[in-house]
Amino acid sequence: MSRHELKLGRRLNDKKSVPIFRNVVYSIDSSLESTTRTRLINLLESNGAVSADNENTFNLYVSLEKSLDQPNVHSVTPLWIETAIINGFVHETQYYSPSKPNQFLSGVVLFILDISQADVQRLTEEIRERGGQVRNDLTEDITHLICINPRGAEYQHCIDHCIPVVLPQWLDDCLRFGEKIDITSYRFPTPTVYNPTSPATIHPYPNQDHLKDATDCTVLANQVIYFGTDIHVKDNFKSRLIQCIKRAGGTVSTDYDTPVTIVILKHRSTEEGIQAFKDNKTIASLWWLTNTLARGYVLSPLSTLLDYPAPQGGIPGMDCLHISITGYRDVPRDFLRRLIIHTGAVFNPLMDQQTTHLICGSKKSDKYKEALNKGMTIVNHIWLEECYQQWKILDCDHKRYRYIPEKSNVLNQTVGRTHLLHDKVKLWMNPQTVPDYSRSKHVYEIINVDEKGSIDIVNPRKAAVKAIRVLSNIVMPDMNAYEKEVKSSNWLSHKKQKT
């Protein structure tokens, strides 16, 4: 039983306690659903409140959308009632105003450690604007402890009393995205979104050549792995992969059964994925598996975007975007290219007249200067990653997306650091809550093209078209770049000989 359930049980069953709503005369907005109204009436009256005899005798008005401008009447959302019962005392009503829909932190009372006093003061104002509260000490009404280092008396007290202890990233993400985010991935003692000693590094997309990066260790000890029916790999690659799994201490099962601990899938929200989620199996992508073998340690599949199975289609509206990349190299570039494909946008390596967005890692890039002159939308990779994380097209004008450094390796090193949000992923595992997605009309152009330009033909009639696009979009740009490099090299060599 949770801390909240324990407190609620104590509050409702303790006959000697003074009713927390003993001075409350309430009125409830008639537009609320009847089931909600009934539940609120039971909570109020079982804790000492009484219903108003007429419209002019109440001092508490409960609504989801409107506040009453009447003297001595406090307008609150239903959350004010629920939080008061959970904590055993009433909170200030100003943090639960129905007329302020952006108060998504209502009911959150924070004690913050490991952050400078100046930053705490700056955060406090923004937290209060969003309905939350900040305490200077570990008071009775604390709902969350925020810290970086899991140590000290305050930390141990909260752990012992089941008060959530979370990383500052949780608060940062809540304020950034304007919603109260599930704490699961941020919560101590085992947060999954941040691990300074074992970062979520990304390795080349899995194929037989890249399995040589797999380390000989027991990283998969006692793990039983099942490959979902939507995983299709060549026999020689799978054979090599199974050998690596066994060397790492794991085993592979051909059947989905109780001993299976890890389910490898291509797509989320499939029947197998939903069942695995219900059974509390670890759900991961093929890339997570090879990343784990290469890293030599296990991280949550939510720790980086493509370690978790992808949706079966793109973000609605994203298929209208044509995206190019510059200033990113090697594995980070490939990661971003595949991420573009998964969002449903068109990956355009040439940056032609159709290009709408440039994912840019350096101002020294020729593409950056060209895009600037043409008035294209220029953003860094964080915009793309957070579009995928939030599963919607985000506003490009945010300053965190517009930062483009002078040096090309600054942003290259941070690719893949965005994590998936637990409550967002959970939506995909219920047929009633699966987010909208659309199969991109452009997907045939790029979905089966790898970094070497090879293609898998699905529709024979499109084979010639696809081959031409691969030639023009991947092979020729690489050849042109190579010829340019050779000419430059020959020119430098000739110049040295002359001097």
Going by pLDDT thresholds of 50, 70 and 90, the confidence category of residue 213 is low
Going by pLDDT thresholds of 50, 70 and 90, the confidence category of residue 450 is very low
pLDDT score recorded for residue 91: 82
Judge whether residue 248 has pLDDT over 80: yes
- Segment 373-382, tens digit of pLDDT: 999 999 999 9
Mean pLDDT, rounded, for 362-382? 94
Going by pLDDT thresholds of 50, 70 and 90, the confidence category of residue 212 is low
Phi, psi for 158 (deg, rounded to 5): -65, -40
Whether 201-309 and 25-95 are alike in CATH topology: the answer is: yes
Q: How many CA atoms lie within 13 Å of 482's alpha carbon, on the beta-carbon side? A: 6
Q: Which CATH number fits domain 25-95: 3.40.50.410, 1.10.10.10, 3.90.1300.10, 3.40.50.10190?
A: 3.40.50.10190
Going by pLDDT thresholds of 50, 70 and 90, the confidence category of residue 329 is very high
Q: What is the pTM of this model?
A: 0.73
* Residue ranges per structural domain of the chain: 25-95, 109-186, 201-309, 311-442, 444-488
Judge whether residue 47 has pLDDT over 90: yes
Q: Which CATH number fits domain 311-442: 3.60.15.10, 3.40.50.300, 3.40.50.2000, 3.40.50.10190?
A: 3.40.50.10190
When comparing pLDDT for 235 and 12, which is higher? Answer: 235
Judge whether residue 445 has pLDDT over 70: no
Domain 201-309 superfamily per CATH? BRCT domain (3.40.50.10190)
Phi, psi for 266 (deg, rounded to 5): -85, -40
Identify each DSSP E strand in 56-98 by its residue range: 60-62, 74-76
- Segment 266-287, tens digit of pLDDT: 999 999 999 999 999 999 999 9
Tokens 């000739």 belong to residue? 494
Neighbours of 400 (CB within 10 A): 11
* Averaged pLDDT of the chain: 83
CB 319 within 8 A of CB 442: yes
Judge whether residue 29 has pLDDT over 60: yes
pLDDT score recorded for residue 228: 95
Select, from the ranges 29-33, 88-92, 208-212, the one with the highest average predicted confidence (pLDDT). Answer: 29-33
Phi, psi for 482 (deg, rounded to 5): -65, -45
pLDDT score recorded for residue 56: 61
CATH code that applies to domain 109-186:
3.40.50.10190
Judge whether residue 470 has pLDDT over 50: no
CA-CA-CA-CA torsion for 271, 339, 307, 411, nearest 10 degrees?
-160
Please choose, from the candidates 226, 354, 214, 345, the residue with its C-alpha nearest in 3D space to the C-alpha of residue 281: 226
